[in-house]
Amino acid sequence: MRKLGKFTTIVAWIIGYLLIIDLGINVIFPYPKDPRNISPSALALFFEYGRSVEGKLARMTRRTDNESAPILMSGWIGNPQVKTVSGIERETSTPTITVYGMSHALQLADDMAKLGPSAKIRSFGAAGAIPSWSYAAYLSDRKQYHSDVVVLSIMTIGVPFICTTSGTTNHFDSVWPYTYPRLVQHNGSLGSLSPPFISLSGYREYFYDSAKWRSYKHWLKENDKYYDSILYRKTILDKSSIFRMLRRAYAYSSRRKKQAEVYDERNGFNQESEEVKILLTIIENFAKDARNDDSLPVIYIINNLFTGSHLYDLLANTLKNNDIAFLSSHKICAPNDPRNYLPDTHFVPEKNLELAKAMLEVVRSNLEDKSVHRKKH
């Protein structure tokens, strides 16, 4: 009985201290309540990472754009925010280059605009965009706008998430509600399943209607490989910083396992995975579609830190067989040299500028080849 009492006392003290730590974190590092505040302190953000997806969405979503977090507007294919990067008006004869992809792609477009006065640069991006999103963005944009050159950006760490359908499942620490179709590959051809909404207004309609939101979650469960109700569902535990960290640990562990089925840093890509097959088909289809539109297709391969040239190695044959122009970052930024990267996975500005220069060169030489080819015929 005495032993039990001693044990209970010890457990009570430890639980008491944990409660104090939990409460202390919430008090000392509060996350800003106003969704428009986009610069919380690093630690406030850190302790927020483990909040449920619904909890994070609730924090950033309001009924009007003015009251909501600015990032909420990003990545909607239904109401695209295509940015014309070039500041000055170009002559009609200058080619238009449109870059599709994640922030790395947008940075490339910005630097291309700085360097390339002889081209009109457009960019269509989404935070953390993965290849399925970029391809969907291209398909949507090509209906409304003709670009002479279309650049599809693909990043190593994005490939395992090809079978996701939303920015709420392809990332966990930070989420974005934008959606994109679930791609499926069957006998070499690519099919797609459209999500219930593809625009911000559609999202708000679902988010503020509990029955519709439930149906959306059901759709995610059926079609999105990374949907996990433990990570998604908002619960009372969101209020505890310790439970938030536990959820984050669970997210990392469970998602890491799924990612490793497609890619790991040591062995590279699993060629048999559905994601890899879809990616290769995306590239083939992208090149075919672009050529049908009389556009020059270019693939921008972004090799992340410590991933070597795995992505380039994976795509090399497909690019060669289909005669697709490309730029692979590993030739300019050694992927095993941390000095080439910022802590948030982006390239350091000098390297980004070098990449932009190289991309303009790829575009220039391929456009020249194209015109020579045309003249011959």
Cβ pair 157, 260 in contact under 8 A = no
- Which CB, 6 or 239, lies closer to another protein? 6
Report the residue from 8, 246, 320, 371 that binds another protein according to the rule CB under 8 A. 246
Judged by CB under 8 A, the residue of 339, 373, 375, 377 near another protein is 339
Nearer of residues 235 and 365 to another protein, judged by Cβ: 235
Share of the chain residues as helix, strand and coil, in percent rounded to the nearest 5: 50, 15, 35
Options 98-106, 225-233, 252-260, 279-287: segment touching another protein (CB under 8 A)? 252-260
Establish how many alpha carbons lie within 13 A of residue 283's alpha carbon, considering only the half-sphere containing its beta carbon. Answer: 27
Nearer to another protein, 213 or 341 (CB): 341
Nearest by Cα to 25 from 49, 54, 57: 49
Cα gap 158→18, rounded to integer Å: 36
Return the DSSP state at 191.
Answer: E
* Of 339 and 376, CB closest to another protein: 339
Tell me whether residue 18 or residue 38 sits nearer to another protein (CB atom).
Answer: 18
Q: Is 331 in the site for another protein (CB under 8 A)?
A: no
Minimum CB–partner distance for residue 188 and another protein (Å): 25
Of 124, 125, 118, 119, nearest to 149 by C-alpha is 119
How far is C-alpha 257 from the chain's CA centre? Answer: 19
Segment near another protein (CB under 8 A); pick from 6-14, 63-71, 97-105, 266-274: 6-14
Q: Is residue 253 at the binding interface for another protein, with CB under 8 A as the rule?
A: yes
338 touches another protein by CB under 8 A: yes
Q: Does 343 bind another protein (CB under 8 A)?
A: yes
- Choice between 84 and 270, CB closer to another protein: 270
Site for another protein, residues 133 to 152, rule: CB under 8 A: none
Cα angle for residues 93, 328, 85 (degrees, 5° grid):
40
Q: Does 6 bind another protein (CB under 8 A)?
A: yes
Residue 13 is encoded by which pair of tokens? 């003290």
Among 189, 201, 336, 371, binds another protein (CB under 8 A): 336
For another protein, the closer of residues 35 and 268 by Cβ is: 268
Q: Is there binding between residue 9 and another protein (CB under 8 A)?
A: yes
Let me know the angle formed at the C-alpha of 74 by 73 and 75, rounded to the nearest 5 degrees. Answer: 125
- Can you tell me whether residue 163 is helix, strand or coil? coil
Q: DSSP letters of 238-287?
A: GG-HHHHHHHHHHHHHHHHHHHHHHEETTTEE-TTSHHHHHHHHHHHHHH
Handedness of CA 276, 282, 283, 285 (dihedral sign): positive
Of 46, 80, 259, 264, the one binding another protein (CB under 8 A) is 46
Stretch that binds another protein, among 2-10, 186-194, 197-205, 219-227 (CB under 8 A): 2-10
Binding pattern for the stretch 17-36 against another protein, x by CB under 8 A and - elsewhere: xx--x---------------
**Whether the Cβ atoms of residue 175 and residue 251 lie closer than 8 Å to each other:** no
* Residue 257: CB minimum distance to another protein, A: 11
Instruction: HSE, CB side, 13 Å, CA atoms: give it for residue 198.
Output: 15
Q: Which two tokens stand for residue 319?
A: 């690019």
Q: Which H or E run includes 25?
A: helix 2-28
CA 280 and chain centroid, separation:
18
Q: Which C-beta is closer to another protein: that of 13 or that of 208?
A: 13
Per-residue burial over 128-158, b = 16 or more CB atoms within 10 Å of its CB, e = otherwise: bbbbbbbbbbbbbbbeeeebbbbbbbbbbbb
Q: How far is the CB of 361 from another protein (least distance, A)?
A: 25
Q: How many residues bind another protein (CB under 8 A)?
A: 27
User: Stretches 250-258, 296-304, 313-321, 366-374: which one binds another protein (CB under 8 A)?
Assistant: 250-258
Q: Residues in the site for another protein, rule: CB under 8 A? A: 3, 6-7, 9-10, 13-14, 16-18, 21, 46, 242, 245-246, 248-249, 251-253, 256, 334, 336-339, 343
